[in-house]
Amino acid sequence: MIEINKGNKEIKLDDKTHQFDHRIEDGYVIDDLIIILLSPDDHKVRFGQFQNLLALNFDGNILWHAELSTNRPGDCYREIYSITPLQALSFCSFHCHIDIKTGKITKKIFYK
């Protein structure tokens, strides 16, 4: 059984608990993956990027962090827009289609 505790920093995978450094904003089970969006508000650092969209297997191992829409400081994902197919909205105003197996962006659209 998989339990995703939104607003907290952990998920439960059967009898194991996986801790994150940041709160969970959103999360879904898609096929054999657990997709987690960590809260963009938890990244207090003003420089660098925050790779806050990631996939884990059912053992709790991180398989990938989603590619970000830009290389600009402060970029991160703010919302999962769709789970099938996986789409997310970035802080830098891109609607990104993300390959579920690799975490790479397959298409991005600037929306502002």
The CATH number linked to 70 is 2.40.128
pTM for the whole thing? 0.95
Task: State which residues form the domain around 79.
Answer: 2-110
Give residue 32's pLDDT.
Answer: 95
Q: Which residues of the chain have pLDDT under 50?
A: none
Torsion angle (degrees, nearest 10) of CA 103, 77, 69, 18: -30
My answer on whether omega of the bond before 85 falls inside 30° of 0, hence cis, is: yes
Q: Residue 39's pLDDT is what?
A: 96
The number of folded domains in the chain is 1
pLDDT at 46: 64
